[in-house]
Structure 1
Amino acid sequence: MALLLSRLGAFSARHRWAVVLVWLAVLVGGGVGAATLAGTTSSTFSIPGQESTTALRLIEQDFGAGGDGATARVVVQSPDGTPLTGGENAAAVQGLVTELGGLPGVVSASDPLDPAAPAVNADQTTAYSTVTYDAPVGGVTVAEQDALVAAVDDVRGSSGLTVEIGGDALNETPSVAGVGELAGVVVALLVLALTYGTLVTAGMNLLTAVVGVGIGVLGITIATGFLDLSSTTSALAGMLGLAVGIDYGLFIVSRFRQELRRGSDVGTAVSTAVGTAGSAVVTAGLTVVIALVGLAVVGIPFLTQMGIAAAATIVVAVLVALTLVPAVLGLLGRRTLPRKERAVRGVTHHAAARRGFLAGWVTTVTRHRVLSLLLAVVALGAVAVPFFSMRTTLVQTQPEDSTQARAEQLLADGFGEGFNGPLTVLFQGDGAAEAATAASGPIADLADVTAVAPAIPNADDSAALLTVIPASGPTSQATEQLVADLRGQLADLDGVDAYVTGSTAVSVDVSESLDAALPVYLVLVVGLALVLLVLVFRSLLVPLVGVLGFLLTIGASLGATVAVFQWGWLSDLLGIPSTGPLISLTPILVIGILFGLAMDYQIFLVSRMHEAHSHGASAMEAIRTGFRQAAPVVVAAALIMFAVFAGFFTGDEATIKSIAFALASGILFDAFVVRMVLVPAALALLGERAWWLPRWLRWLPRLDVEGAALEHGTPARTTEDPVPVG
């Protein structure tokens, strides 16, 4: 692989302008395709085959309900306690309904004071109008949202009534390039500039990564015109693609500069860098792709789509690092070095590396290896404690200062906490209406049930609906238990099939499916990556140390996320708008993404140790030598990833916010505790045994990540003259 990649790097440098133009053409083509073929995205999650999802489909068949249009629930409350059903209040409500019905994009607006279908609480102080749009969820335009907000503001100001807007019509598609994300990119650029000592090289590294992530995100945008993709897919792929794109470029550029300092010409330096660091990039990228594509084993279509889309973006990032980066390096040549080093050849900086902070760090860690190992394990274990109380849900908690949150609170005060998460029971079969009526009494006697609405039969009396209002809110454990109690009570009905659905039931089904799939996913993905690492390092214990360290990273990352987002620790300081259970997608996505990134660091760090050991260094000296060579780049890469993820954390999308926090904290734990302390301490403790491979496994193929084949063959070179120093 090293020889093949070195030739690819030499080819890219030799035909640098052609390679650059091809990538620019792909980027422009992606932009044109996204502008003309893009469709809408979905912000709802469900799993085909689950009871709640099946019930929704059957309700649509039997009742003609369940359209895809976005809805807004406009809640009105009388602040002074006067009834909304009479006098000026009633006139104001009627005027609001009329205005809502005439807004752009609105199909209908229900009248809460209609005697045939009232939507007023018992005290007649709170009412709501359901506004239905012709656009799907996430498809309501900004202009239509602004018109809705303006209409509500007008009524609020003229009538003195309290009016707020709930529902999904105000949902926005997560932005891939908000202020926070741009700030993260700026921080990444500063880290690169400090690492390289030249802004030109830093800008080149960042620009090539942006090209890769741009192509990936544009490709996903094009796919929305043909597939029903989640609204978080582009943001997730953009966040991950940008981080790894910068890091993969960093690894190759750093090795290229190292070869230049050793006296190599530009062509040889490019081919050697791509053959060595490029091999590690391919292996690291493969682990990330395995982790993301492995999400398919969970059996949830939207999660599979997110994983494949993000994996495709990673593949683009790897291809950019292997072709576009060497092409640009061929253009810049020795200008990638700081100005004072461009005319100096044969400087390796080994002496400086031996005296630096990181050299002292690894010496201390390996000398006090038992203490270092214990401290790392205990620290990460302590942070992981909250993980064991983690709860998940699909019901997103709205920011406390938003109109959606205020609308939910008005409804909870007027109708009860459970009104925001009603449960729907579908009865199917002969005598469905009678069965529903007979079941309403026992259902009302269940714990946490506030009310049961009269049964609603369909036209031919083959099905009936029963609405159950819980006493607790939609994200409470009591409501989740009520779903299980309902299903248990309705399991033995004779001649009639009963299904429990509603947003809370869908959330319970998705969470249970994800929880059941997690062990299978971990075993499959970790097992495949373990095999890959065994092939890379020709060792059993080194991959095992890396994987066990990753498990501590996951525990600490999710533990910190639970403490902040669920328990509310430091939530005010970090600007968390609301606390509650984590979004159901967070744990499995964080595990998949962090596993790939953690293995990146393991490969880049330990491959240099393995290289030194293969060249005859003792086990201890190999650890220290490899650490001195790779740690500066790994530290820079971790800081860049942290900056990118932290930038996405500043956004408003709840799903992306929790995932970004978990990834940012996980990067810190993995890079600076696991890879910088636990791994060198554990390898020092194992000594020569760390590189042991059983005799019965020595038939395994050898993956040449360190580029040993380049020592026996002549690295490919460009045939053109090097770029002038100036």
Structure 2
Amino acid sequence: MERLADWVTRHRLVVGLAWLVITVVGVLVAPSLSGRLQSGSHVSGPGYTANTAIAAHYGGAASDPGVLILNTPSGQTIDSPRVKQDLARIDSTLAQSAPDLRVVSYAADGDNALVGTNRTSTIVLAYPPKASDDVGTTQIDQLTAAARQAAPDLTVNGTSYHALEAGNTTGGGKSSVLSELITGALGALLVLAWVFGSFLALLPLIMALISVLTMQILIYGLTYVVPSSSPLNPAVQYIVALLGLGLSIDYSLLVVTRWREERTLGKSNQEAVAAAVKRAGHSVWFSGVVASLGLFALIVIPNSMVRGIGISGLFIPSTAVLVALTLLPAILSKIGPALDWPKRASRRHPASRFWTGWSKFVIRHRVASAVVGLGLLGTLAGTATTINIAQPSTQAMASAGTYTDGLRTLQADGFPSGTLTAVPVYVPHAADAPTVVDSLSTVSSLHGAAQATGPAWRAADGSALVIAIPQTEVGSSHGGTALADIRTVAGHGALAGGDGAQSIDETNATYGSFPLLFAVVAAVTFLLLARGMRSIVLPAKAVLLNMLSVAATYGVLVLVFQHGIGMQALWGTSSYGAIDQLAPALIFGFLFGVSMDYEVFILARIREEYDRTTSTREGIIEGVSRTGRLVTSAAIILFFALASLSTANDVTVREIAAGLASGVVLDAIVVRMLLLPALVSLFGDLNWWLPDRARRVLRLGPLPAATEPGPRQPAHEALTVGDAE
């Protein structure tokens, strides 16, 4: 770190120009990144096998359909000559206005499964052209408008699962990454202005924006490396932008804070830069390694979307570290003192009086503090045991709006809500399709089945597609036995697919590998922390507390999204009744790595002070007093970044962002500022125990016997730790 600081300050012009070029390239590349990302995920399972066959011959027919509900005028039925003409005209108009869509309708197929109660209504199922597409709000609006124009006498409503998922926002889609990035940056700027009270507040934000643009370049390049069978998901761009913003600011905040502290101690600017990189830089580098490995460990999950995010996540902390340890010291060495203006006298002392008092309070009441902290986390973790991992039901998403009205009209006409997750059934031989339809029409868990006919549904391999309409939504917690019944009854080598079927495959694949993810991350983190902290007890405590912190975050997720506490106030919708299948896995990967930043920031400072004073108590007080404001500020900044991401009209992104935001705050306040000092104080000398055998395994040199910390330290140290004052 000393050599790095020396090289950067001597070559700061070269460093600055290099990052300027990278930033310009990032600005040029970032707008093109979204076009290189593809939605969807790939896992092994019967649903994925069926969807692969369907996609090869019928494009996006494996997706959940858009549904048009057509009601006849009073006194007429779908068998009335005029209504028949209207239905045929709607099919013709849809073919002209949206030629890429594949449509299943009563006018084309004549299947009674598409006819409502008293034959006064019918439905049209519309499928997107590509397997990676879905029928969302924009498509439903276009289809509805075209149908109304073609048949003004009919009452037309439109809805789809994805339209309800988007929150009934007409014409809405996924929120802009740029708008959310700006929102997160503005929130971060307010916190930084409070922390520094000078123009230094701009420096971490500038470093973060450069980091995010650099990450966009790396992800863009990665899209050319990953196989086309496992493309990177659009969620990557959200996560890289917002999490990158928060982490970059965290790392820059640590370096700038330490630089300012060294300046306060009377060191020259160059000496302060060198000291900041040596001390804070080591913590930043170490945190970045731990966070990167926590994210990269997601590749053990056999799900292409999760693996893609894990690989991409490897670039988030590493890029933030690179900027914080090269560009930031170069700028501080040149204009740091000029940026530290105006400098309020109350900010001159690096040790916060509040956090000094807080650390003494926690040490004095360490047993009570530990009980309160563990009790709170334990209660939330207990709530997490009731987690229901599934797709949200339509009723849970439907609060009010255009697409909710469409769902209610659909059900009023006698069609089940499962229509929105109609199951496509691939039949290898077209001649068997009528038999498959007849067999499925007798299944009680289905409303009926219809064969997709017409030029758009003729496959070169001689296959056919049958659409089965389940009574309840496949993939949700109320999905029932519809999918299993289809696979049992259909026969003839038929394959049942659809979004719901693949969602079930994803859940099984993801959580079948979840114990392995836990084990890999815990083991690697423990070894890294044991080497960095020169202790066995501290890393064990850190890993266990992190596991408990993640479990508590799942509890918050359950309370909010599964039970609906605060959902209406925050997002204007009701409870989802379930947790998205990808949210817990991704939250674990991100939160476990990110929360280790705070652990390293605090423990590194405690260890530094302990080495200086040989007093655990003094190490806690100095460590918390000098990092308390830093950690809470960093957590608030990351909270702003993630909270802005939670406004996205995507259930998965929303749950991940909200879960991470709550987890970061919970971890920083309860775990790091309450439990960490309380437990370190309780463990006393045991914190620094490192047997010789473990020291050799970790490749650490032996300490002199006189200074070797451990349980056999002189008794006066134990008394000092136990002293309330």
Which interval holds the TM-score relative to the shorter structure?
0.7 to 0.9
SS at match of 2:530: helix
- 2:188 partner amino acid: A
- Cα separation, partners in 2 of 1:282 and 1:97, compared to 1, 3 Å: same
Is 1:316 aligned to 2:315, yes or no? no
Indicate the larger mover: 657-666 or 17-26.
Answer: 17-26
CA contact (8 A) 1:437 1:455 kept: no
CA contact (8 A) 2:388 2:477 kept: no
Task: Quote the offset at 1:323 in angstroms.
Answer: 1.0
Distance, in Å, in 2 between the alignment partners of 1:479 and 1:149 is 28
Indicate the larger mover: 686-695 or 381-390.
Answer: 381-390
Task: Quote the offset at 1:172 in angstroms.
Answer: 3.5
CA contact (8 A) 2:355 2:628 kept: yes
Distance, in Å, in 2 between the alignment partners of 1:399 and 1:282 is 46
Equivalent positions of 1:224-303 (< 5 A) are 224=223, 228-303=231-306
Distance, in Å, in 1 between the alignment partners of 2:650 and 2:269 is 45
Task: Quote the offset at 1:46 in angstroms.
Answer: 3.5
CA contact (8 A) 1:75 1:163 kept: yes
The answer for the alignment partner of 1:53 in structure 2 is 48
Give 5+ residue unaligned stretches, structure 2: 164-170, 702-725
Distance, in Å, in 1 between the alignment partners of 2:134 and 2:681 is 57
The answer for the alignment partner of 1:201 in structure 2 is 200
CA contact (8 A) 2:387 2:579 kept: yes
CA contact (8 A) 2:236 2:309 kept: yes
The answer for the alignment partner of 1:18 in structure 2 is 14
Equivalent positions of 1:208-223 (< 5 A) are 208-221=207-220, 223=222
SS at match of 2:35: coil
The counterpart of 2:71, out of the listed 77, 88, 91, is: 77
CA contact (8 A) 1:42 1:230 kept: yes
- 2:597 partner amino acid: D
The counterpart of 1:326, out of the listed 329, 334, 355, is: 329
User: Normalised by the size of structure 2, how large is the TM-score?
Assistant: 0.84
Is 1:419 aligned to 2:415, yes or no? no
- Cα separation, partners in 2 of 1:54 and 1:70, compared to 1, 3 Å: closer
SS at match of 1:592: helix
The answer for the alignment partner of 2:178 in structure 1 is 177
The answer for the alignment partner of 2:679 in structure 1 is 682
SS at match of 2:513: helix
The answer for the alignment partner of 1:522 in structure 2 is 518
The counterpart of 1:513, out of the listed 509, 516, 527, is: 509
- 1:400 partner amino acid: S
Distance, in Å, in 2 between the alignment partners of 1:595 and 1:294 is 11
The counterpart of 1:557, out of the listed 518, 541, 553, is: 553
SS at match of 1:113: helix
Distance, in Å, in 1 between the alignment partners of 2:135 and 2:478 is 34
Task: Quote the offset at 1:429 in angstroms.
Answer: 9.1
Task: Quote the offset at 1:360 in angstroms.
Answer: 1.2
Percent identical pairs in the alignment equals 28
Is 1:599 aligned to 2:596, yes or no? yes
Distance, in Å, in 2 between the alignment partners of 1:396 and 1:330 is 56
SS at match of 2:643: helix
Indicate the larger mover: 277-286 or 398-407.
Answer: 398-407
Aligned residue-pair number: 682
CA contact (8 A) 1:395 1:504 kept: no
Distance, in Å, in 1 between the alignment partners of 2:527 and 2:6 is 31
Task: Quote the offset at 1:122 in angstroms.
Answer: 4.4
The answer for the alignment partner of 1:304 in structure 2 is 307
CA contact (8 A) 1:292 1:593 kept: yes
Indicate the larger mover: 448-457 or 535-544.
Answer: 448-457
CA contact (8 A) 1:75 1:129 kept: yes
Distance, in Å, in 2 between the alignment partners of 1:69 and 1:566 is 25
SS at match of 2:527: helix
The answer for the alignment partner of 1:43 in structure 2 is 39
CA contact (8 A) 2:95 2:101 kept: yes
Residue by residue, what CA displacement relative to the aligned partner does 1:273-321 show, whole Å, maximum 9, x if unpaired? 1121111111111111111111111122221111111221322111111
- 1:389 partner amino acid: T
Residue by residue, what CA displacement relative to the aligned partner does 1:244-276 show, whole Å, maximum 9, x if unpaired? 011000001111111111111121211221121
Equivalent positions of 1:217-616 (< 5 A) are 217-221=216-220, 223-224=222-223, 228-340=231-343, 349=349, 353=352, 356-394=353-391, 400-414=399-413, 415-426=415-426, 436=436, 440=440, 444=443, 448-451=445-448, 467-484=467-484, 489=488, 497=493, 499-578=495-574, 579-616=576-613
CA contact (8 A) 2:66 2:135 kept: no
Residue by residue, what CA displacement relative to the aligned partner does 1:533-589 show, whole Å, maximum 9, x if unpaired? 101111111111111211221122111111111111121122252423211110000
Indicate the larger mover: 454-463 or 110-119.
Answer: 454-463
CA contact (8 A) 1:188 1:644 kept: yes
- Cα separation, partners in 2 of 1:393 and 1:317, compared to 1, 3 Å: same
Give 5+ residue unaligned stretches, structure 1: 705-726
- Cα separation, partners in 2 of 1:465 and 1:134, compared to 1, 3 Å: closer
Task: Quote the offset at 1:337 in angstroms.
Answer: 2.8
- Cα separation, partners in 2 of 1:484 and 1:519, compared to 1, 3 Å: farther
CA contact (8 A) 2:448 2:469 kept: yes
Distance, in Å, in 1 between the alignment partners of 2:343 and 2:407 is 63
Distance, in Å, in 2 between the alignment partners of 1:311 and 1:452 is 46
SS at match of 1:114: helix
The answer for the alignment partner of 1:723 in structure 2 is none
Distance, in Å, in 1 between the alignment partners of 2:451 and 2:81 is 30
- Cα separation, partners in 2 of 1:660 and 1:409, compared to 1, 3 Å: same
The answer for the alignment partner of 2:690 in structure 1 is 693
Task: Quote the offset at 1:671 in angstroms.
Answer: 0.4
Task: Quote the offset at 1:524 in angstroms.
Answer: 0.6
Task: Quote the offset at 1:331 in angstroms.
Answer: 2.7
User: Normalised by the size of structure 1, how large is the TM-score?
Assistant: 0.84
